């Protein structure tokens, strides 16, 4: 059995000719953990062992991230959702509780929208796609030529060990701690040209210099058809807490939990609490059932 802080083994499957890396352990109701941009399945290490004691836990490296392939191709939310559906098919998993952090939250919502029969519950953690505001650093990375400038900065050693990017993050409002460490680590991965290209394509698919341009709020009422949990860090400087508060108001019957001392990564700041909350939420709710006549009624009444 995977212990609380032990990383599950990194496995691999080929989908459509591309390598997809993932971690999978445990036995029980499936949970899909979807990481954010420039991150990987490693971000869930602190909760993986807790959850795999009573659940089958699947944490992929999204295409373009971690140890998965980084091809030229489609990095839209819809493409990511379809790729995770294909991973489910390859692993013979029918449905799961979708848990998405940051970009992963947007992907989880997209996957629930495209493939509602596969979504038992929806858990959004400091999620993207719920409002326009996002950190200045991410908006700046969408500017024309950023894919040329960032590699030059790294080649010059300006981002060495995350020191300079950490200083920059401090100037745009991020505080020392988990948020700065994780963002600096993520940016350090962009020294790889293929990862850099995937990052830019992924970011520009949902963000522009004025903020997030993919907004799920006009369809968020559909999430009320199944159990939903929204988790946010009160000190999040990357995506504001207000986005979570407004999403909670838009999703009938949703549960909203704020980690008062956490920033953008509540699952890293308080992993044991996060794992307990998620396990309790799953254990106290029944999987959502798709009623297409109900979905048709909801969609056409708006």
Same-domain check for residues 120 and 141: no
Residue given tokens 């020294």 in the structure block? 191
Kindly report whether the global pTM for this prediction surpasses the value 0.85. yes
| For residues 78-87, average pLDDT | 97
In this prediction, residue 89 carries a pLDDT of 97
Report the number of distinct structural domains present in the chain: 2
In this prediction, residue 154 carries a pLDDT of 53
Same-domain check for residues 41 and 159: no
Same-domain check for residues 266 and 147: no
pLDDT digits (tens, 9 = 90+) for 116-163: 999 999 999 999 988 887 877 777 777 776 665 566 455 544 444 444
3-state secondary structure 254-297: CEEEEECCCCCCHHHHCHHHHHHHHHHHHHCCCCCCCCHHHHHH
Write down which residue in 208, 224, 255 finishes a domain.
Answer: 208
Residue 133, C-beta contacts closer than 8 angstroms, at least 6 positions apart = 211, 212, 239, 240, 242, 243
Same-domain check for residues 24 and 151: no
Same-domain check for residues 260 and 196: no
Same-domain check for residues 127 and 232: yes
Residue 1 has pLDDT above 50, yes or no: no
Q: Structural domain of residue 38, as residue ranges?
A: 10-132+214-301
Same-domain check for residues 93 and 231: yes
Write down which residue in 151, 182, 208 finishes a domain.
Answer: 208
CATH value at residue 260:
3.40.50.1820
**Whole-angstrom Cα Rg for the chain:** 18
Model confidence at 174, pLDDT cuts 50, 70, 90, reads low
Pairing status of strand 10-15 against strand 18-25? antiparallel
Same-domain check for residues 165 and 279: no
Write down which residue in 149, 177, 208 finishes a domain.
Answer: 208
Residues recognised as catalytic = 102, 236, 264
């Amino acid at each position: 059995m995977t212990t609380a802080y032990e990383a599950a083994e990194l496995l691999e499957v080929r989908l459509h000719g591309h390598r997809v890396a993932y971690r999978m352990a445990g036995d029980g109701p499936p949970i899909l953990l979807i990481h954010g941009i420039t991150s990987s399945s490693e971000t869930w290490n602190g909760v993986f062992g807790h959850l795999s004691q009573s659940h089958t836990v699947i944490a992929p490296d999204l295409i373009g991230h971690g140890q998965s392939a980084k091809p030229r191709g489609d990095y839209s939310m819809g493409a990511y959702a379809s790729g995770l559906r294909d991973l489910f098919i390859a692993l013979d998993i029918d449905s799961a509780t979708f848990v998405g952090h940051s970009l992963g939250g947007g992907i989880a919502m997209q996957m629930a929208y495209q493939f509602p029969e596969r979504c038992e519950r929806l858990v959004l953690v400091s999620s993207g796609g719920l409002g326009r505001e996002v950190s200045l650093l991410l908006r700046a990375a969408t500017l024309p030529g950023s894919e040329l400038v960032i590699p030059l900065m790294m080649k010059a050693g300006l981002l060495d060990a995350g020191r300079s990017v950490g200083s920059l993050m401090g100037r745009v409002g991020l505080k020392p701690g988990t948020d700065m460490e994780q963002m600096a680590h993520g940016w350090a991965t962009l020294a790889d040209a293929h990862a850099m290209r995937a990052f830019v394509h992924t970011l520009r698919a949902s963000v522009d210099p004025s903020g997030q341009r993919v907004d799920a709020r006009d369809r968020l009422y559909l999430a009320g058809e199944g159990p939903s949990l929204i988790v946010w860090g009160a000190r999040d400087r990357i995506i504001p807490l207000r986005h979570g508060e407004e999403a909670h108001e838009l999703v009938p019957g949703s549960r909203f939990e704020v980690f008062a001392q956490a920033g953008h990564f509540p699952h890293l700041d308080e992993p044991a609490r996060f794992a307990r909350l998620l396990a309790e939420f799953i254990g106290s709710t029944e999987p959502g059932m798709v009623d297409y006549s109900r979905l048709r009624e909801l969609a056409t009444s708006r």
